[in-house]
């Protein structure tokens, strides 16, 4: 008699294990968001500008798209409380320095609302920071929190969160848009 209960208990255990396995599989399917959903949630606007400047400045296209998404959600008229403007949220004084270093003959603050100029300057700046710091993580910290703070080793929680968000978003853009992979 005891043997029969053991087999029944084994059957129940196997059934529960199967239910648990199916539940885990279902969660996995939900956790892996399909490409169409990712593209709705993470739009890619100004694609040719992003791809062109990523190529020109030897940047991962998905990284560049992720910075733009985190900075402005692809809003060309985005303005921060600190005075940063455009897709890549550049401060006018930073952009003026970039214009001088890249051979620009004149700089106007309104130019930062032009997607082509904004992404060109932002791409140059991101490449400059990657070259200066030698890695993307530190470059992103400087992009967000300022080079002076990074040079002094001062990283705010907000900056660390920003870096993590950009890197996560980069991975999403690479999955959602095959043309951004390289």
Which letter does DSSP use for residue 179 in this model? Answer: G
Please tell me which residue in 45, 47, 60, 71 is annotated as part of the active site: 71
Separation CA 163–CA 155 (nearest Å): 11
Q: Does the annotation mark 71 as catalytic?
A: yes
The answer to whether 51 and 62 have CB atoms below 8 angstroms apart is no
* Both structure tokens of 149: 């703070």
Q: Write out the catalytic residue numbers.
A: 71
């Amino acid at each position: 008699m005891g043997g029969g209960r053991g087999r029944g208990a084994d059957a129940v255990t196997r059934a529960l294990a199967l239910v648990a396995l199916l539940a885990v599989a279902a969660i996995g399917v939900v956790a892996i968001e399909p490409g169409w959903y990712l593209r709705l949630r993470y739009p890619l606007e100004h694609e040719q500008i992003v791809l062109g400047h990523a190529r020109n400045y030897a940047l991962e296209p998905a990284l560049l798209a992720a910075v733009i998404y985190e900075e402005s959600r692809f809003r060309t008229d985005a303005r921060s409380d600190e005075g940063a403007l455009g897709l890549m949220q550049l401060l006018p004084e930073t952009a003026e320095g970039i214009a001088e270093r890249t051979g620009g003959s004149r700089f106007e603050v309104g130019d930062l609302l032009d997607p082509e100029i904004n992404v060109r300057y932002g791409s140059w700046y991101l490449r400059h920071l990657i070259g200066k710091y030698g890695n993307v993580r530190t470059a992103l910290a400087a992009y967000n929190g300022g080079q002076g703070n990074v040079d002094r080793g001062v990283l705010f929680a907000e900056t660390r969160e920003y870096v993590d968000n950009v890197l996560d978003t980069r991975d999403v853009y690479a999955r959602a848009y095959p043309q951004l992979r390289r």
